[in-house]
Structures are given as structure tokens and as C-alpha cells.
Amino acid sequence: MRLFNRNARIRIGDKAGGVFTPIITIQDLRIAFNIEKTIVSDPNTATIEITNLNSDSRNFINESSEAVVESKRVIILEVGYGTSLSRLYEGEISFISHELLGTDWVTKVECDSGKKVFSQTLFNFQFAGGATVESVFEQLKQAFRTAGFGIIENFTDVVRQVIEKATSNERSESDDVIGNKFLNGLSVSGALNEVMDKLAARHKFEWSIQDDLLQLTAQNNTTQESIVELTPTSGLLGRPIKLQDGRLKAKALIIPSVKPGRKVKIVTTVTLTEFPSALFKILRVLYTGDTRGNDWTMELEAKNWTPPPTLVV
């Protein structure tokens, strides 16, 4: 893997019904960013700085912060090496400022993944007696889609996993769950993200919005994406360390495909004897980059992961 000639591109536009319409593209200017992504439901956040954006573009970005409710004004940051760029972050613009520092105009854009949408989206639904747990998830999926988010391809498979893992003592007695059905029906009301948080606590799964996509994983499982291997030749910097809570902390050059929920294999010149295995589930990633500066790294935290046993028939 050749990790040379860092590059970045920004696209800003409107998104409605899951369709992104780009309006402005920014490249070949100095772009700096700090991004935090986690596997929990709190919005992923980013601060992106652009140096010497022209006045027309600065005015446009200011106007974009007043986008109507029916659509949302989003920013997409793509990074990579040479001409090969991949999306690192997508989120809704929440705050913009412009500052003249010496002879340079620095535009700062702050964004998050869903905070505004969740504050405006309520989920109210009555499920009749005998409604299945799957039907509740299905209605929530449709609500997220209506709110403008995409859905992971294996949503139904993940739902089956988390339902199977839920036990009777992890459900509220008032739910009156018999088998996989709500015997007396169910009334669900509240902010969309709060309703999902309650289901996550009951069924032991993790959910988050990753680049405008609703992602679900069982607590002891990962996304279905292939394993990313981090080695000194593929970007790993220094030796990973073990944190007090048992997590691994590692630093590497930015690789956009390294993100929360995904499997990563850490391979070093010296075996990491303090961990049971070299396989980990990524929980948190901090990306720091500057196309004209020294920063171009990611710092990840992960926990050891063991593949679930395969059922032999």
C-alpha cells in the first residue's frame, strides 16, 4: 500500500430522500480537519478548516447554514493518496465562521452526524397485540430512512442476531414479551434516537450513524466488512499500547476504511503478548489531517474480538 502524496477534497451540497446533490467542490486548497467517530449513538463530529476560500464560496457556505428542513446541507470530506480518494466523513453543517489571519482567510466548518435531524424527528407508533420485535425494528428502519439516513445492507440479519441474544431478564416486564411477540402490544414514543437507545439497551446492540448511514452491530460482533490489516508497511506507526480498561490504542497513517465497528488485525514486528489475539473490533477513531502541514494520522481504540462459533450441522 503506497501512502504518499496526501490529498483531500470537499463537496458541499443538499441531501434529500437519501440523494446528495453537490453544489460546490473544494480541492487544491489547504484543508485541515479533526474528526471523531465512535461506535455509540452520540453523533460523530468534525471540525474542518479551509484556507483562502474565495469570497463567493464563503458567501455560499454562509447561506447553506439556513437550509430548509425538507433537505439538509451536508459536507463530504474525501481523503487519500494521489488521485485515489475515499470518503472519510459525511455530516450536516452546524456552524460556520470565517477569520482573517494575516493575509489568509480561514473558514471553519463544524459538523455532526444527525444531531439536528434527531432534535426534529419524533417516533410515535402503536403496535397491536401480538406484534413481533422484528416489526418494531422495521418501523424504526423506515423512520430513519424518512429522516434522510441510509441503512446498512445487512440490517435484517443484524436484527435477527440481537433478538436471539436478548433474554427475558433483559426486557421490561411491562413489555410482556412472550417468545418474540409483544403479547399486549407496545406503545413507542419519543425522539427517534432515544427510542433506538432503549432498544439497544434491551437487546444488547450498538447503533450509530456512520457517514449518514444507520449502522447496527451486536455488542460482541462486527460489521460484515472484511478485516483491515494494519502493519508497519501499511501505515501502522509505533507500537500499540494497552489502556487501563483493556482496550488497545494504536496510531497509524489515515486509512478511510478504518472505522468503528469494523474488524482490524494488528501485526507488529514484536508480538503483542498483552492481548489474547491480534484481532480487534474498532470502537473509536480520531482522524487528524492537514494537506499542507505535518498532521495525517488516525488514532484508534479497539477491543479484542473473537469470531462467533460457526454452527456445524
How far apart are alpha carbons 268 and 248 in whole angstroms? 13
What are the grid coordinates assigned to 60, written together?
A: 455560499
Lowest mean pLDDT among 3-17, 169-183, 230-244: 169-183
Examine the pLDDT at 309 and tell me if it is beyond 70: no
Q: Give the predicted TM-score (pTM) of the model.
A: 0.90
The pLDDT tens digits of the residues spanning 154-190 come to 898 888 877 776 544 444 444 555 557 777 877 888 9
The pLDDT tens digits for 40-99 are 999 999 999 999 999 999 888 877 545 444 578 899 999 999 999 999 999 999 999 999
Other CB atoms within a 10 A radius of the CB of residue 228 amount to: 19
Between CA 225 and CA 204 the distance in angstroms is 21
For the chain, give the percent of residues with pLDDT over 90.
Answer: 56
pLDDT at 182: 76
